[in-house]
Amino acid sequence: MRNAVVIFTKVPCAGTAKTRLTTERGGILSQEEAKEFYQACLLDVLESCLKADCCDLYICYDAAGDGAYLEQLVETVAPAGRVRELFRDQGESFDKGMQYAVDCILKNGSPERLADAVVILGGDMPTLQPQTLRTAFQRLEQLARQDSALVISADQECGFNIIGYTHGTPFRFDEVFYNRLGVTALDMIAIRAVEQEIPVALLETVPDVDLVPDFAHLLTLLKTMQLAHRHDSSMQLPHRTINVLAELGYEAAAFPAAG
């Protein structure tokens, strides 16, 4: 089975990267800090995908993003030819953007498709391990004996941050993120899977970072990962993210309840 991963991302840029972490939106980072933080995350995610060594790699970036800048960033991590293509998103919403990225690879299952299975993930999950991707494609291959299959990793807020399926899977992203029923993204995936009788495998949760509590969680998680890495060298540490956070000097804290 031919496999592909699409990293679905914005090009790191001050004022557009991780804005919910910035002081302008009630967060704690300056716009430049948010950009540097997200850039480190994205490159660590890219490195984990490369080390998984189980798929062709593509990057789909925002329509307004600086593609030349992104290409320069990618070249600092990926040897020439390791990323098959960087292409600009043409979707008008998050749902349509995700669908566009999948369609570019699977081409509606036609013989001209670029892969038999695709996994989409974001650039804001720096603790991603290469083994998680290997497991995703292993589960897809096992389940796809029934012709269709879907894998998913839940996030912390009723959504998901990794999703993948085979070319024969009758799934589309229409109204997954934006629907009038108030159904969460993760619940909508489950509803579609039941309706279409799609076999589903649940992957381990890999946290993403959108809000300040996510940022605090990452700070504590990275400390624990560094401790565990002393006894498990197979663990992939997100060195760029660790270094940027060390330079920023932030610490997570839990304050005792009043009284």
CA distance 88 to 80: 19
* 86: enclosing H helix or E strand: strand 83-88
What tens-digit pLDDT sequence spans the chain (259 residues)? 899 999 999 999 999 999 999 999 999 999 999 999 999 999 999 999 999 999 999 999 999 999 999 999 999 999 989 999 999 999 888 899 999 999 999 999 999 999 999 999 999 999 999 999 999 999 999 998 878 999 999 988 888 999 999 999 999 999 898 777 889 999 999 999 999 999 999 999 999 999 999 999 999 999 999 999 999 999 999 999 999 999 999 888 777 766 5
Query: Which of the following CATH numbers is that of domain 3-248: 3.40.50.300, 3.30.960.10, 3.90.550.10, 3.60.10.10?
Result: 3.90.550.10
pTM for this one?
Answer: 0.95
CA 233 to chain centroid, in Å, comes to: 23
Structure tokens at 210: 């959108």
